[in-house]
Chains A and B, each alone.
Chain A
């Protein structure tokens, strides 16, 4: 399989980024500044990420809204035009095929942003559902993976960076706008959305694939003026783990339901039937078998994905789904899926880290307070 590259790949390479595979894409993990400095830049100033590997799927035509409401878990009827909403798409067992952001332009015009590795799968599921329901067979569903680049500008100074493009209207959390800069017309029409995956006040900007590199270079200069750094996906992972945000393939999978992963708020069991709704209703009534918990490691060492978790009587109760060193808390943290019954009143667990038992405290998520709504300076 040939690895795909975003239009910014050569920039990453020539700026000495360490490159790794993300869902078939060659993406920067970190720059010479390192994960810790890049993480701190986002929490204190601003960071710029190339996340153009994320999937993009457009759904257009009359009936797009009711169609998507039969496919996604959240209630799109609650979504106003010009806003984005977190959603999941599930299989019939209620397992998560992917999590994604749905942008609503109008009832007849949506853009979905699934994960890079799952874009083709989500696209196939939607296509299949549409052709098998006559009332939706006229919808135009397009895989637009390489139509847009996506850049995330995240951190308390992100508003200043984005406003350097021109007079952007004030956006609420999850609101987006289409914007064409009169000063920087070469970037074309941008979609600027108040969303992110870091827990900080921030934006995600969509730009045409071929205009991506020139916008990137412009944003690099702007973030430097604010004391910020260009960040790799390593820092994106430590930032999202501090927030307890799920990552598909870790906290979510086709075997893990959004209810088990603590995403009940993004699953509308009151709306009419949708993919996986019967299984999710059943799980909601009977209670989930698994529960996602946050763990603060009490000893040295980092608990990593798939390491086994035990209760204090040495019963195996689950496994770590993500683990890292929290640059903000200066201690190791982890997310783990554990047996829901065992989780009741449980305060401490033991994690087997390379043959050694390490203690960990169960803590409330997020590990670090979110500032997505009010963290601008």
Chain B
């Protein structure tokens, strides 16, 4: 399982890239472990630009041939950008979950309080 050391992680299998200070903008996505458990992803429902999201609350949905799974926002803030390419190419979530499979960029309202580092996340899925 690929768990990049420079990212932070939520217990619901999302990753966060960037500084998590208040007012900073982070990129979020789902982890390699999440995409692998879901199987081939065929639909993605993204949050909307301008939408307020809250840490631990649902902000979207990914659906595979097998099942549907909610995306929980790992941070609180405002969505500034979404990866709308995913609507046409949901397979990017399987093929490149930490790169072209990114989900959204979020401007932080506060510093999230329950993120894991790569080691902590490794321990969670072990």
Contact = CB atoms under 8 A, between A and B. Distances in A.
Interface of A: 18, 29-30, 34-37, 234, 238, 300-302, 304, 324-325, 327, 332, 354
B63 A35 contact: no
A34 B39 contact: yes
B88 to A, nearest CB: 11
A325 B39 contact: no
A29 B40 contact: no
**Secondary structure of the A contact surface, majority rule:** mixed
A366 to B, nearest CB: 18
B94 A34 contact: yes
Contact of B66 (A29, A37, A327, A332): A29
A18 B40 CA distance: 13
Nearest to A38: B40
Nearest to B63: A302
Contacts of A30: 39
6 contacts: A18-B39, A35-B65, A302-B43, A302-B68, A304-B68, A354-B68
Interface string B39-68: 110110100000000000000000101101
Contacts of B42: 36, 302, 325, 332
Interface residues of B, number: 10
A332 B42 CA distance: 9
B43 A300 contact: yes
Contacts of A325: 42-43, 63, 65
Nearest to A30: B39
Interface of B: 39-40, 42-43, 45, 63, 65-66, 68, 94
Given A35-B65, A234-B39, 15 more contacts: A29-B66, A34-B94, A35-B40, A35-B66, A37-B40, A234-B66, A300-B43, A300-B45, A301-B63, A302-B43, A302-B63, A304-B68, A325-B43, A325-B65, A332-B42
B47 to A, nearest CB: 15
A18 B42 CA distance: 19
Contacts of B68: 301-302, 304, 354
Contacts of A300: 43, 45
Closest 3 CB pairs of A and B: A325-B42, A36-B40, A35-B65
Contacts of B45: 300-301
Contacts of A234: 39, 65-66
A301 B62 CA distance: 9
Instruction: Name, among A34, A37, A332, A354, the residue most crowded by chain B CB atoms within 10 Å (CB to CB).
Output: A34
A34 B40 contact: yes
Contacts of B66: 29, 35, 234
B59 to A, nearest CB: 15
A327 B66 CA distance: 12
A324 B63 CA distance: 10
A188 to B, nearest CB: 36
Contacts of A18: 39
B42 to A, nearest CB: 4
